[in-house]
Amino acid sequence: MNVLKWYDQNQRTLPWRAKKGEAPNPYYVYLSEIMLQQTTVATVKDYFERFIKKWPTLKELAEANLDEILVEWQGLGYYSRARNLHKAVKVLAELSLFLSMPTDLKKLPGVGDYTAAAIASIAFDYPVVPIDGNIMRVFARLFAIPSPVPLLKQDVYKYTSRMGEGGRSGDFAQGLMDLGAMICRPLNPRCTECPLKTTCRAYNEGKTTEFPVSKIKPEKPKRYGVAYILLHKGKILLEKRPSKGLLGGMMGVPTTPWQDEVLNPEDLVMFEKSSEWHKVSKQVKHTFTHFHLYLTVKVGIRQEICDGCWVSLDNLQSVALPTVMKKVIKQIPHEILRNCSKIN
């Protein structure tokens, strides 16, 4: 098998991956696959290492507090993954065994077809090929599959459904992943170094740039809102977002709802009407998977404290703040920040 031979000599060293001769750690495989959903390997490495240092075993992660997990997850995005991770490890800890079949793994929160296949093959050598973007690209080129990206997965599945059998399914899957990441790259594939070059149709027909056939991406919609930074003696008012939905359970400054149109003055939240606000000239732009968000930032200094969660500006690192909220808080003008801490 060309892929396995190539993998034996060229595999990437990754913190969650078993070294040669060692058995994979299912907890590491599971944690890394959840983190890798929508996130690059380069970004995940640090997060993964921090997590396993803090929670070396699945049981310890299951016993951790969700807020603590969210703090460690800060910056990784797609926070529903962290909440699902916590729910799933609790289920696994209670079962006292790791599920190994894709059909069982898919019953865990946050585990879809791809993640279930990846965990089953890598951790347990289950004969299945997880089809991610890298693997789709390799197969699209290898067999010159003409389907555009939304339909490509099903066609690739027809090719892979009988692969991975006969042992070393996990290495085969990881070999394909590494091949897609290192050799069969989206731009400028390194075909002369590829173990599949003799059979690759796209390469042999000089058509590597034509596969995978791309779809035209629709433009992301825009949403707008106002974010309120309320300060009192070196502290900032934060609130916890509802546990369900975007950034669920994370902390942030109060905002108006995020909507499709630029806000009218009458849409402003109640307390805006009773405070004096300094409007920050630059809007904060943040892109989520399905939309671009534009937030107008307003900063107010409160002479008297009101109800709510007031956190010291010096202690924000202990709070689970998503990236968009960090961007908002960075907008506090230096002058206001100085005045605010003088009052402290």
> Under the rule (CB under 6 A), what is the footprint of ligand SF4?
138, 141-142, 183-184, 189, 191, 194, 196-197, 200, 202-203, 208
**Closest separation between CB of residue 10 and ligand SF4, Å?**
13
Nearer to ligand SF4, 141 or 235 (CB): 141
Q: What CA–CA distance (Å, rounded) separates 28 from 52?
A: 8
Q: What CA–CA distance (Å, rounded) separates 84 from 73?
A: 12
3-state helix, strand, coil in the chain (%, to 5): 45, 10, 40
Tokens in use for 246? Answer: 């975007």
Nearer to ligand SF4, 31 or 184 (CB): 184
**Closest separation between CB of residue 119 and ligand SF4, Å?**
25
Q: Which of 33, 60, 210, 276 is catalytic?
A: 33
Nearer to ligand SF4, 127 or 189 (CB): 189
Nearer to ligand SF4, 153 or 233 (CB): 153
In 3D space, the residue among 252, 221, 205 whose CA is nearest the CA of residue 70 turns out to be 252
Nearer to ligand SF4, 169 or 208 (CB): 208
**Closest separation between CB of residue 138 and ligand SF4, Å?**
5
Q: What CA–CA distance (Å, rounded) separates 190 from 197?
A: 10
Q: Is 205 part of the annotated catalytic residue set?
A: no
Residues 6+ apart with CB under 8 A from 149: 136, 212, 213, 214, 215
**Closest separation between CB of residue 131 and ligand SF4, Å?**
15
**Closest separation between CB of residue 195 and ligand SF4, Å?**
8
| Burial readout 16-26 (b: 16 or more C-beta within 10 A, e: otherwise) | bbbeeeeebbb
Q: What CA–CA distance (Å, rounded) separates 67 from 11?
A: 36
> Whose structure tokens read 């990881």?
174
Catalytic (active-site) positions:
33
